[in-house]
Amino acid sequence: MGFIDNPRLPDRIGAVIFDMDGLMLDTERLHLEHWRRATQDFGFETMEDVYMQSFGLNSRDTERLFLRHLGETFPYVAIRDRWREYAEHHVGQFGVRHKAGLIDLLDMLKPRRIPKAVATSTRRESALHLLEKVGVLHHFDAVVGGDEVTKGKPDPEIFLTAAERLQVEPAGCVVFEDSPAGIRAAHAAGMIPILVPDLISPPDDVRALAFRILESLEDAPDLFDFPAE
């Protein structure tokens, strides 16, 4: 694996902010399977093209997306609730895997004393449960859920909220994201966006906003080549 582009990070980093689904946790593929089951339960096709556009969006904006494409009578809330039942059952029975390279990256950042936060479109309660389930919650100084902000990604509010909770300036924050909406939000926040694509091949305009594009979190430790304290 290697870098697709290789500008250097500044020597002083104020904080590192992580997305969760598809970036730290290998959940997007599972979510897609659960979505297929839920839509079929209600007699609908998967509508995968619309679903893929929802990556990085919070529940409110995802509902608006589906109603815009499929009409106001589309039973999004009922399907979403069934989807959540499937997802929660799966996590309870089988757990969830973290993405390759995550633990090494978190372990590498710890002695460098760089504050870390999670900024996820997932509801805070669900995010805390998942992060605890995979054993990484203790690495983070703050967690901001999609239900804690008024505007979801690609609006920068969630990242600015994370920076505020960490008491750091936005310009010094490095953001790891897998979704186009997340990269747009990080860029709009004036932060340093690092793109690690998952299921979606990012469009050219999103690639242009990323400070670095990595094939995997396994490549991420090389970004932080300054010594530990």
Same domain (yes/no): 81, 111 = no
Of 47, 72, 94, which residue sits at a domain end?
A: 94
Same domain (yes/no): 81, 130 = no
Same domain (yes/no): 109, 146 = yes
| Res 140 pLDDT > 80 | yes
Percent of the chain residues past pLDDT 70, beyond the cut = 96
Assess whether 19 carries a catalytic annotation.
yes
- What pLDDT is recorded for position 227? 59
Residue 5 lies in a domain: no
Same domain (yes/no): 199, 180 = yes
Residue 142 lies in a domain: yes
- b or e along 92-130 (b: 16 or more beta carbons within 10 Å of the residue's beta carbon)? eeeebebbebbbebbebbeeeebbbbbbbbbbeebbbeb
Range scoring the smallest mean pLDDT among 7-21, 183-197, 201-215: 7-21
Residue from 19, 61, 178, 219 carrying the catalytic annotation: 19
Same domain (yes/no): 116, 185 = yes
Rounded mean pLDDT, 119-125:
94
Same domain (yes/no): 46, 143 = no
Whether the Cβ atoms of residue 12 and residue 227 lie closer than 8 Å to each other:
no
Quote the radius of gyration of the chain (alpha carbons, Å). Answer: 17
Q: Residue 143 belongs to what domain range?
A: 15-26+97-223
Which is it for the CA torsion 153, 9, 1, 221, positive or negative? negative
- What pLDDT is recorded for position 3? 45
- What pLDDT is recorded for position 31? 84
- What pLDDT is recorded for position 228? 61
Nearest to 139, CA basis, from 172, 112, 115, 119: 115
Per-residue pLDDT of 47-102, as tens digits, reads: 888 988 888 888 889 999 999 999 999 999 999 999 989 988 888 888 889 999 99
Same domain (yes/no): 104, 62 = no
Give the CATH number for residue 172: 3.40.50.1000
Of 94, 119, 143, which residue sits at a domain end?
A: 94
Of 94, 114, 145, which residue sits at a domain end?
A: 94
Confidence of residue 5 (pLDDT cuts 50, 70, 90): low
Pairwise CA distance, residues 92 & 186, whole Å: 32
Percent of the chain residues past pLDDT 90, beyond the cut = 72
